[in-house]
Amino acid sequence: MRKFFSFLSSLLIFFVIFLVGIYAATVYFLDKYSRQGLEDLVTRGETSDIESNRPRFRKVIIGSYNSVTWEDVSIDINVLKGDDSASDRSFSIRTPDVTITLKDFSKRKFIFTVDDMNIIWHKFFDISVDASQLRRDNLENGKLELEFSFNSFEQAEILSRVRDVFRNSLDFIKQGRTATPITFSGTSKFTISNKAMKAKLQTVREKGKYIIVMNKADLHSVAKELDLDGDLTKEEVDLLSRNPFRAPRLLRIADYAKDTSKKKHNKNSELPEDAYRHVLWSYLLTKAYGDGFAKKVTDAHEAGDTGDTEPRRKMDYNNNAVGRHYVDEGYSEASIIWRIMDDDEVIFSPREITPESAEQEEQEGSIDNEQEQEEQKEPQDDSQTIEDDDSQQNIPVDAGSGGSQEDSHQHHHESEEEAD
């Protein structure tokens, strides 16, 4: 009997060692082929506008009979080009766990999960704030879940589908939208005017696409903190919410334009604060995102319920267009102050809006709307990429001699008419 139990003990020990050996060998080969596969994944998974380094991880473990987890994963992404004349933008992704779980073997269905993801933005410099504030821009507590399946377990099919998952995940983070069924949540943290802000993000399904949106209540809280809440229209909040990766910079630009125009007007009372703010705001938006998106942002404000009279609304539309034009002409931000003082296209006061000019504005607005409708029929790339722009400067304006800004501008027009 003693020999029998001794035999069973030896057999059990052997079996345990055998299982441990199989587990260790499995982990070893998973680690080895994961590192080799990731290099191939990056090479074949990159697109014309995205490049990345090989994802790094500390170790791979078999979590249970149906899942594999890679721990301490990191990857650096560089966006080479994007829509709306955006330039290079890069970001890093860090996460403690990336897991692939077998959901249904018969249907070859798996779930790709990323937990506690942290996205850190780089090359995200903005003229309106100190660069040190932008280095604190990141996304925390991100959770991404994506379901996928294989048509077969052949090697070529597996590699192809895994590359698709990798590419779709990168595109989703870059653009904020994808046709692939995906769920995402997280908290965006950023700094504006040395104030720490945060807003929740989540995915919603809309017209067959999965879109990341920013919580609207959080947006109102941020705007209120910046004293912008009264300025934001419902249409603006909707636009900011649907562009969560752009929202921090859009708010920075609005805050910067409002603060700068107020300071410059206080130094020179002849400088029209409202006109300068709209021209500067539109100019900076166009520099960052191009004409198309800049116009969408400013139109979202003017079309909303701002409480403005119709002449004032038309004045704002006009001055926003001037800001876009200044970018097209290649003017510097520093030159805007003195340009608007001599530019007949800039409207200083709603009283300058005559019935004739109002009718002309309506006609031009109708043409613009028709063009926008035509553009909307064509597929558009709503990439979230942001342009680096840290080269702008402001120069003070010397105070002029007496008189109101409206009288000064009207006198400028009258002098030209007399000359004619």
- HSE (CB half, 13 Å, CA atoms) of 346? 29
CA pair distance 162, 374, nearest whole angstrom:
37
pLDDT reported for residue 202: 95
pLDDT reported for residue 321: 96
Other Cβ atoms within 10 Å of 171 Cβ, number: 18
pLDDT reported for residue 168: 75
CA pair distance 47, 39, nearest whole angstrom:
15
Q: What is the pTM of this model?
A: 0.72
- HSE (CB half, 13 Å, CA atoms) of 397? 26
57 Cβ contact partners less than 8 Å away, ≥ 6 residues apart: 34, 70, 71, 72, 73, 74, 98
Q: What is the dihedral of CA 130, 131, 136, 138, to 10 degrees?
A: 120
pLDDT reported for residue 356: 55
* Sites in the chain below the pLDDT cut of 50: 82-88, 124-129, 358, 364-367, 370, 373-408, 410-420
- Give the three-class secondary structure for 8: helix
Residue spans of the domains in the chain: they are 1-214, 220-420
Say which amino acid occupies 336.
Answer: I
Q: What is the 3-state secondary structure (H, E, C) of 125-154?
A: CCCCCCHHHHCCCEEEEEEEEEEEECCCCC
Residue 64 backbone dihedrals phi, psi, to 5 degrees: -160, -170
